Amino acid sequence: MTTALDVEELRSRLVAPNGPYAALDVVESTASTNADLAAAGAADRTVLIALEQTAGQGRRGRSWSSPAGGLYVSILFRPDVPAEKLPWLNLIAGLALVRVAQSVGVEASLKWPNDLLLGADAGKGAGILSEITADGSVVVGIGLNVAKLPADVQPAPGGLAPTSLEDLGAAELDRGELAFRLLVELAGLEGVWRKNGGDAVESGVLEEYQEHSATIGRQVRVELTGGVELTGAASRVESDGTLVVRGTDGVDHGVSAGDVVHLRPA
């Protein structure tokens, strides 16, 4: 596996006029690619890649383990779509990750809203964090485990065991090539979604997401803000990206944000 990325090659393949992105940069190490990009006032479709993060952020302010050997990418989008459609960027990033994992021979699925599950044991291979900035743009941060993980990497919230593409025998481990594939898939999915005004049905992303969802049909526990928990069966994802859970009370509850734990069958 290569230890560095050829930034000029990536730019030649991905940045306009040859590709869909406005700008692309690569750094060896940074605290957080999301924080760096959000502070930069960057143009639509600007990319920042790091080979290591020292203060990666997960959902709800948690730290995200970002060891050397992974791929950490943030992309700033300024899509002209209604604000209520913007959460789909997080789910679209998940679809791009599934396509990349499958392209290198690794089984992949998605745990709503932001985890890539890899292999037969459904370990966590990637996380996604999308943040809306003060000027209304969206920074989508993706952390993909590529190299074998250190033994001391902690389980994800909900007890998900961490894993990586190398741990699962991926056919391709060059981070430059993986970054290229990921950004091409993301640009394609986001571009169709954007052309359809953020409509998840018309753009096809809702159907594709439900096809790859490991959450739909599962018994789940959703940890909501304020210590509230919802337990029930995840039945579908709505066109606005919310997860519908039929609670033990028999009522359908729409969840727009929360940590989902997949429960083992009784």
Q: How many CB atoms lie within 10 A of CB 175?
A: 24
**Tens of pLDDT, residues 202-215:** 999 999 999 999 99
How far apart CA 182 and CA 176 sit, in angstroms, is 10
On the question of a cis peptide bond just before residue 157, with omega within 30 degrees of 0, the verdict is: no
Domains of the chain: 7-209 (3.30.930.10), 215-262 (2.30.30.100)
Provide the CB-side half-sphere exposure for 25 (13 A, CA).
13
Pairing of strands 46-50, 23-27: parallel
**Tens of pLDDT, residues 119-178:** 999 999 999 999 998 888 999 999 999 999 887 777 766 678 999 999 999 998 999 999
How far apart CA 237 and CA 205 sit, in angstroms, is 11
Question: What is the mean pLDDT of the segment spanning 23-40?
Answer: 87
Token pair in block for residue 28: 């060896």
β partners of residue 192 = none
Question: What is the mean pLDDT of the segment spanning 29-40?
Answer: 84
Torsion of CA 199, 57, 73, 184, to 10 degrees: -20
How far apart CA 162 and CA 229 sit, in angstroms, is 24
pTM here is 0.92
Question: What is the mean pLDDT of the segment spanning 57-71?
Answer: 61
How far apart CA 198 and CA 180 sit, in angstroms, is 24
Torsion of CA 223, 225, 229, 232, to 10 degrees: -70
* pLDDT at residue 96 is higher than 80: yes
* pLDDT at residue 52 is higher than 50: yes
